[in-house]
């Protein structure tokens, strides 16, 4: 990518960055990847609990969900992102902000389910 595009890229706010991502990955594909990742993180949450580990914090649950999501779309973004940029971190942070409410909602649901199991 040219210097101008690189400069624009690094100055994007999270909402602009999400729009940048959605120009490269169709919305339905990103949503599918996110939902699958959220389900995988939820399964990990329950498996950890069943194996006697502490209940996963919201921070860890968020990091796991976004990491899995980004792993799923990494190959589609890698070739179109500026070289020598912090695109992975920028994309990670933008996705985290974009999906934070839904991740927190799922985390609360999981806590409620575990509370019912304990009762």
Q: Domain limits at 69?
A: 3-118
Report the pLDDT value the prediction gives residue 82, as an integer from 0 to 100: 66
According to the model, what pLDDT value does residue 1 have?
Answer: 44
Count of domains for the chain: 1
pLDDT at 52: 80
**For the whole model, what pTM was predicted?**
0.85
* The pLDDT value given to residue 83: 67
The pLDDT assigned to 4 comes to 45
Write a three-state SS string for the chain.
CCHHHHHHHHCCCHHHHHHHHHCCCCHHHHHHHHHHHHHHHHHHHHHHHHCCCCCCCHHHHHHHHHHHHHHHHHHHHHCCCCCCCCHHHHHHHHHHHHHHHHHHHHHHHHHHHHHHHHC
**Residue 65: per-residue pLDDT:** 98
> Which residues in the chain show pLDDT less than 50?
1-6
What's residue 8's pLDDT? 56
How crowded is the C-beta side of 25, counted as CA atoms within 13 Å? 24
């Amino acid at each position: 990518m040219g210097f101008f595009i690189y400069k624009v890229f690094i100055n994007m706010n999270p909402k602009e960055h999400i729009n940048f991502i959605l120009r490269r990955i169709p919305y339905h594909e990103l949503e599918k990847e996110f939902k699958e990742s959220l389900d995988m993180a939820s399964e990990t949450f329950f498996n950890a609990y069943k194996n006697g580990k502490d209940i996963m914090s919201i921070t860890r649950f968020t990091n796991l969900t976004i990491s899995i999501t980004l792993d799923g779309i990494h190959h589609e973004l890698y070739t179109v992102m500026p070289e020598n940029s912090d695109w992975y971190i920028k994309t990670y942070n933008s996705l985290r902000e974009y999906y934070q409410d839904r991740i927190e909602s799922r985390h609360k649901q999981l806590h409620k389910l575990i509370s019912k199991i304990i009762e």
